[in-house]
Amino acid sequence: MPRKQYLRDLEEVRIGHAIPDITDIAPGDESGQFSFLYSSPTFPPVSISVLIPDVSDYPATHSFMVFAGENAPPEIATSLEELRHINGKSISQLLEIVSRSLALAHADQDGDTYMPDSQVEEDSEEDDFESDNEDDWGMGIGPAPAHNFTSTRDSTIFSEPRALSEHRSRVKLDLQTAKDTGFKVGVHGRIMEGGPCFVSISCRVAKLGVSHEAMQAWQLDRKDYLILLIHYPHGYTSLNDLMGYGTTYHARERLEMRVGKSSTYKPSHFNALRAFSNVTSEGSRRLAEADDEEKSNSFENIFISKPLNQLLNERLLAILRYRFQGIGWEGAEAFYDDHQAANAIRADVMDAKYLGEDTMKSDLSELLYHDHILEKDKDHSLPLAGMQFLLRHVVRCTEFCLVCHCKLQEDLEAIKPYVCDKPLCLYQYMSLGFGPSIEHEIIAQPHVVDLLVSFCYTRALSLQLQDFPLGLSLSVPSCLPALPSEPDLGYGLRGPFARRESETGSSKVPEGIPMRFDRNKLEMIFDNGMTCPVRKGEWIIIDSLSKDVTLHLRVDETAFYPVVKLSEPVSVPKSEYDNNDAETKNSNPTLAAATTSAGTSGFVPASFIKYDRNFDELSNVERCSAICRMLDTLPRTSEMREYLTRNNPAELKDWVTRILPTALGILRWIIASNRACIVQVDAATTAADEESASVIRNMEDRVHGMGGWMQFRFAMGAPDKEKRFRNAVKSTADRLELRYPTLFAWHGSPLQNWHSIIREGLHFKQASHGRAFGDGCYHSMDINTSMNYSGMYSYAYTSGGLSAFRGWSQSELKITSALSMNEIVNAPKEFVSRSPHLVVAQLDWIQTRYLFVKCKAHVAIPDVSLPSQEHQQDPHMTPSGTTGKIVIPATAVSLSRRTATQGTANVKGKAKGTSVDPILMDGSSDDDDAASVATLSEDRSILEDDDTNTICIDNDGIYEDDNDIVLLGASNTKENQSPSRPKPPDVMDFTPGRLDKQTLPLLAEPSYATPAATKRLQTDLRILLKLQSRTPLHELGWHIDSALLDDNLYQWIVQLHSLPTALPLASDLARAGLDSVVCELRFPPSYPLAPPFVRVIRPRFLPFLHGGGGHVTAGGAMCMELLTNSGWSPANTIESVLLQVRLAMMSTEPRPARLERRGGYAGVGGGGDGGIYGEGEAMDAYVRACKVHGWEVPEGFKEMRRAAGWMEM
């Protein structure tokens, strides 16, 4: 749509323009109108307006009307008059023309032309002096290399053709180096001409080597691409040139980096612009409506994009400078951390502690072991070095602080990243948005939030909480009621809530500030003429009106002092710890507050206490008390979820009348400091939510035999913990020849321990219940044994006996006990003890899988049927559930082991997949991103080798040498030199080079050939032949014999081969003495704007009407929307076309493809052709198929028919 294109182009230049002297681009009041400011040192800012009379002609045949404001100098008006005849340009092209034209108007009397960035040369002299004292640089590196170009603010202007040629060669070298390492490279902008550009370096998440559980915790999908996007606003600058800048500041001006993910290997140009711009939500909505296609090439932040962006932009160049002194990543980062505030330090005085080799775990992905800086002596590629640095901090993110990026203590393993113990880091993590979105967690997983808060609350209530939200500037009331105590439980056990004598809270209650309070009007009045003691927005506590509840109120208005207006109170019952009725009282805080003053009207004497005490100044006991009291003021998770969904988009901090800032800070800390991956399996809620009470999120993930228990998928440990566990399982199973490599067992622990377990993982550093059977993690096959450990402190002792629930009063789950189900290496004889408990000392032998919680609340969790795929357990080591032996779903184990157990073949993800792992298998050679079929033509052309894509310069400019057509000659047999990797036995054999040229309908080069199509076909064919030369035949599945191409690029003969022997089509081919399906591709004159025509030459397929399939028409043409105007996109590659045609032939839905039988198979025994399709019948069948399905026939198809000698239908 022309209007959509106009709106998108206007928004692109508005948010990401890089045009000299043009600013403040804004749409006008009328359709097709926009304005901008032109500024220069010679003239004051001039407002210029542009009008497109007919937007429907944009962007091809439209015209522009350009006007200057009334205050415009005559030179400006004259220059704009000369632009009247410029039509058919895009908005960005027009603005560039305007900028250049007005720059010429600045010529002085001597004829010199004003250069907008001539100041750069003047600044360079100052830089020479500044570099002597620069903190970040000064490592003894030599001066900047000589440049053969002039750097301006927006582009690099090359002074001679040789400099441009060197620039292009360096761009190709840097990007090709990254590609050869296994990454995918994408480009937007005028990178080869020295203009502003974007470079994306990416790899699929599947190649990172992290577990499925870690991907889930990090909100990544194995099909996503992790992308480093680099913006060069002044043109591409090599790492050598960047190192030559005298200061960090000037080097950073040359580039900016962003980290994100996408479903494709590079974002669209628009989304790349957006990544470096601040776009309002309204602007995003309008742009989304203008072009929905941008969504497929989006660029989204990953879970730690913000700290990674800061790390790359602030530190990468300085760290690379240190790397060139011969030290590794660890030494360079440590050196930066230790000396970032010191003066420049030379390499000859560098401490030896920085010179050690990098230490990495042995189970990390192979990508992390490559070090471009060490592997190459010179001509280092910044995109590659930056991507390797990024992967180091993504895959190993849990080893580094997310704020200061220092290494964390090595004895703590977690699956989610966090910060170090510095209070400033915690403050920045929480206040600057580096942590996870608590709003997202509440909306997506309200039960998990309830679970985390309940665990923390119980830990604080037991006075065992050791880690606190310090450094967050949290304010609490001056008075904190002490937590209740508990009698001795007998048998030498003392309740966890019993107060330790050495830790007592403040018993002195400060006096409140006197006032009179009107509950109905929510006003308080002061009588003694004092200065107003409160400020608007503060929270206070009124504790003197009732012995049952405490009122927390926010100051709404102080302008009418001595009368102060308050918000609706949040009430917290004082007796929630020992009164069963607390749950009822606190279900509606405002109602509970209202009951406290029933029958009371007018002002009554009262007093209040301010939130004026710093949480950090409290003792540990007081901190525990404050956390419990503040959490009790929060709404229920369902209420918070309802608020967020009703006011979307919204944040909890906006709910100022209901949520206290201190309570919100503690809630944020609880969620953000959780370092385990917990995913709710049950979507059931309490009985109060009847509509969703019986909904199960994923029945296939639920363990059968645990009725009445709420289930969560549960993973802990470092991101590589799953890989270490898999290695332990494999090595032990091979050593002991185990049929059942693992077993499942229960682990129970008191409720107050789970807050620390989910943050530190399972370990046995502390003995909570004695170690009568040795040191290790204790497990049991009997659930009752673990339940005894998990629920012994769930209830409180009151005067009436064991009665009331002790936990977070606002919890909807009312958790009374929790236990985990863990998968363990099945080697009981090697445990510390195997009876009566399983005591496992090898922590890498244990992997948590499920967390079960028992709820006191009436949670509706219906019984579920058996899972469709069951995990096979050792019959002698099967744990018991609440209703007998449990049945564990196959999804409980890790993805890779699940696939291996099911015997799924390691099929290439590009060809086909399974419901378990639809894309890639670990270790698949097809993980090579550099060879992915998704590479676009514009990126492939940049990465062409110099020997096959020569750059020539003449008086007319730059052009590509077309003489590389010699690669297509018959003498080129490189494509047959495929790597030799063993062929699986379940695919057909294939021998290339056996096609008889005389039996094929080869044509001469058509008269409709066009230069654009010819050039594109040359590039496509060259890429396919290179891919064919380095890929085993059976993995590729297609073969092109260049000897059959002759001089006609518009007709390709392709053999589809190596079909799985299980297919009926493969059986038919074998019986016919054939090893491939011979196909023809014919290209129209408008290629790649129009699709190729694809048909089968031989053998003949059984028609669909007679029971055949494979998407082959009765005439042999392929029946696929992809090959019509309706489904074709110029971004499609021939490799992807061949892949999808092959997949279509292999498809068994609705029926599998079969060969046509004519009194037996034609050609049996003699290697015959199995029947040949005619050209005319194929073309006719293609047109019929398009008409039946309503697809559009490409315009160039008529010319192809005429060139083949066939009349139109």
| Residue numbers annotated as active site | 1119
Cα 164 from Cα 235, distance rounded (Å) = 12
Q: 3-state class of 811 per DSSP? A: coil
Q: How many CB atoms lie within 10 A of CB 77?
A: 14
Cα 461 from Cα 485, distance rounded (Å) = 10
> Is the C-alpha dihedral spanning 1110, 1115, 1121, 1122 positive or negative?
positive
CB of 659 closer than 8 Å to CB of 439: no
Q: How many CB atoms lie within 10 A of CB 1046?
A: 16
Instruction: Kindly provide the b/e burial profile for residues 789-802, where b requires at least 16 CB atoms within 10 angstroms of the residue's own CB.
Output: bbbbbbbbbbeeee
- Backbone region of residue 116 per phi and psi (left: phi > 0; alpha: psi in -120 to 50; beta: other values): alpha
* Residue 721, C-beta contacts closer than 8 angstroms, at least 6 positions apart: 211, 413, 415, 844, 847
CB of 534 closer than 8 Å to CB of 558: yes
Helix or strand (DSSP H, E) at 185: strand 184-189
CB of 388 closer than 8 Å to CB of 382: no
DSSP 655: -
Tokens standing for residue 177: 């180096």
* Residue 893, C-beta contacts closer than 8 angstroms, at least 6 positions apart: 742, 823, 849, 871, 901
Size (the chain), residues: 1209
Cα 1200 from Cα 627, distance rounded (Å) = 77
Tokens standing for residue 735: 């050593």
Peptide bond into 1099 cis (omega under 30): yes
Alpha helices for 181-298 (secondary structure H):
212-217, 239-243, 248-252, 269-275, 281-290
> Is the C-alpha dihedral spanning 622, 624, 628, 633 positive or negative?
positive
Q: How many CB atoms lie within 10 A of CB 654?
A: 12
Instruction: Give me the numbers of helices (H) and strands (E) for the chain, helices first please.
Output: 33, 38
Cα 514 from Cα 796, distance rounded (Å) = 36
Tell me phi and psi for residue 869, to 5 degrees: -125, 115
Strands 156-158, 795-798: pairing is unpaired
Strands 884-885, 880-881: pairing is antiparallel
> Is the C-alpha dihedral spanning 1009, 1015, 1016, 1018 positive or negative?
positive
Q: 1198-1202, long-range: CB within 8 Å, 24+ apart, which pairs?
A: 1199/1006, 1199/1008, 1199/1084, 1199/1085, 1200/1006, 1200/1008, 1200/1082, 1200/1084, 1200/1093
